[in-house]
């Protein structure tokens, strides 16, 4: 297990609820909820070695989807439609404007 450090000043859009940023190299989604920032793996819980979760929908009504078999997830990572598992949430701690995320 390793930790990822993310300087949140580099992502000012994350100060707005509903916004999301994909850290492509690490395959981590950072999603701003109403009150807090959450981190989720971008690997699809259906087939983590193959599926990659992307953002879909409009700015306000955005959701997350895996293009391989169309599993969909809410902004809180909950499964919708025919999805059977939630997005994997990653432990995240914020200190001094830096997010520390535990990678699987």
> Is 46 near ligand FES (CB under 6 A)?
yes
Round to whole Å and give the CA distance between 61 and 41: 20
Looking at residue 59, the DSSP 8-state letter turns out to be S
Among the listed residues 33, 36, 50, 85, the single contact to ligand FES using CB under 6 A: 50
Nearer to ligand FES, 69 or 76 (CB): 69
Among the listed residues 7, 13, 15, 47, the single contact to ligand FES using CB under 6 A: 47
> Is 71 near ligand FES (CB under 6 A)?
yes
CA torsion, points 55, 91, 102, 51, in degrees to nearest 10? -30
């Amino acid at each position: 297990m390793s930790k990822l450090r993310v300087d949140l000043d580099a992502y000012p859009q994350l100060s707005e609820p509903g916004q999301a940023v994909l850290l492509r190299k690490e395959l981590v989604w950072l999603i701003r909820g109403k009150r807090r920032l959450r981190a989720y793996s971008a690997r699809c819980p259906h087939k983590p070695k193959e599926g990659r979760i992307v953002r879909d929908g409009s700015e306000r009504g955005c959701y997350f989807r895996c293009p391989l078999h169309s599993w969909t997830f809410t902004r809180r990572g909950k499964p919708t439609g025919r999805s059977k598992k939630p997005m994997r949430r990653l432990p995240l701690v914020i200190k001094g404007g830096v997010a520390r995320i535990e990678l699987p």
